[in-house]
């Protein structure tokens, strides 16, 4: 089972790139972030025509997450929104149990964690509160002992080697000590960070800013992560970053990250 996470930075602008990726890579599950559209505006028909079932949690002009599942796999027990704050109206979390006759079930969440800048400030406080809610929810999910995959744009640079120039990020919400501690606390619930479990190399990035020739200079950061529960980590085959998609015309500033798990029952 191949599971991909991708911040598309506007589904309407990147639909062609997404459909091409679905046709070429044929991932079984796709976790999308930063849709920048409401549910009614999501290009559901085009994606269903490509053979995928769709669940969305959209928001006008901002945020938004979606999950695509290649048929005959299907989604059950869909959860829209991260528990823990009934007043939170931002569309940042979508979860479902992915099942199929010939596949072991996997619970998957697509996550668009807040950026948090400027920090300090209310946006950073919201980021840390969201991360704590995510940790608590993840702990509850861990108790089920299911294969669990938390995939998405975490807006967290975990380590200095995850940035081409870490000194440039020392005052940024993505790299502040409290952010990195919160990410480590999530990992400490028992998760394996799939990419680093498979590839310890430096210069392994998932995001390149549109400004200052960052792509051309490979001035990137690694902020898109896939976390695996022990039951999912036991099934890990590979993890990879599809860097080449950043070189497309009018690309997203993020690229897909894909993990492969053994799927046969």
- What is the per-residue pLDDT across 83-119, written as a single tens digit (0 to 9) for each? 999 999 999 999 999 999 888 999 999 999 999 999 9
- 17, 137, 225, 254: which is the annotated catalytic residue? 254
Kindly state the average pLDDT of the residues 224-228: 98
Out of 52, 93, 112, 124, pick the active-site residue. Answer: 112
Give me the percent of the chain exceeding a pLDDT of 90: 96
88 catalytic residue (yes or no): no
Total number of domains in the chain: 1
Q: Which of 17, 28, 153, 225 is catalytic?
A: 153
Q: Are 20 and 64 in contact (CB under 8 A)?
A: no
Under DSSP, is residue 31 helix (H, G, I), strand (E, B) or coil?
A: strand
Strands 2-7 and 29-33: parallel
Output phi, psi for 212, to 5 deg: 60, 30
pLDDT digits over 23-80, tens only? 999 999 999 999 999 999 999 999 999 999 999 999 999 999 999 999 999 999 999 9
Task: Look up the domain containing 187 and give its range.
Answer: 2-261
Binding residues: 7, 34, 153, 155, 253-254
pLDDT value of position 110: 99
Please report the beta strands in the chain, taking only residues with DSSP state E, as ranges in sequence order: 2-7, 29-33, 52-57, 65-70, 74-80, 93-100, 103-112, 148-153, 192-193, 224-228, 236-241, 257-261
Q: How far apart are CA 140 and CA 163, in angstroms?
A: 32
CATH number for the domain that contains residue 34: 3.60.10.10
Binding site as annotated, residues for Mg(2+): 7, 34, 153, 155, 253-254
pTM of the predicted model as reported, rounded to 2 decimal places: 0.98
Query: What span, in angstroms and rounded, lies between the C-alpha atoms of 115 and 96?
Result: 24
Burial state string for 134-144 with b = 16 or more CB within 10 A and e = fewer than 16: bbebbeebbee
CA distances from 67 to 55, 61, 199 (A): 5, 19, 26
**pLDDT in the model for residue 264:** 60
Per-residue model confidence (pLDDT) at position 171: 98
**Partners of 227 in beta bridges:** 150, 193
152 bridge partner residues: 111, 225
For residue 244, indicate whether it is catalytic: no
Nearest to 5 by CA among 37, 29, 39: 29
């Amino acid at each position: 089972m191949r599971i991909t996470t991708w911040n598309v930075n506007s589904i309407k602008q990147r639909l062609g790139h997404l459909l091409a990726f679905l046709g070429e890579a044929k991932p079984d599950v796709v976790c999308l972030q930063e849709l920048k559209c409401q549910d009614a505006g999501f290009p559901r028909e085009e994606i269903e025509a490509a053979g995928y079932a769709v669940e969305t949690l959209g928001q006008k002009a901002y945020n938004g997450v979606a999950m695509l599942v290649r048929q005959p796999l299907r989604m059950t027990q869909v959860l829209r929104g991260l528990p823990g704050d009934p007043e939170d109206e931002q569309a940042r979390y979508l979860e479902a149990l992915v099942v199929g006759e010939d596949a072991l079930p996997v619970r998957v969440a697509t996550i668009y964690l807040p950026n948090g800048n400027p920090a300090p400030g209310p946006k950073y406080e919201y980021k840390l509160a969201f991360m704590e809610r995510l940790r608590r929810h993840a702990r509850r999910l861990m108790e089920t002992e299911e294969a669990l995959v938390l995939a998405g744009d975490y807006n967290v640079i975990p380590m200095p080697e995850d940035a081409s120039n870490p000194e440039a990020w020392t005052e940024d919400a993505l790299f502040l000590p409290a952010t990195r501690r919160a990410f480590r606390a999530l990992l400490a619930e028992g998760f394996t960070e799939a990419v680093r479990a498979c590839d310890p190399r430096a210069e392994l990035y998932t995001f390149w800013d549109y400004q200052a020739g960052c792509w051309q200079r490979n001035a990137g950061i690694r902020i898109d992560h896939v976390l695996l529960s022990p039951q999912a980590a036991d099934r890990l085959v590979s993890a990879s970053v599809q860097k080449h998609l950043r070189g497309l015309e009018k690309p997203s500033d993020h690229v897909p990250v894909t993990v492969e798990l053994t799927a046969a029952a």
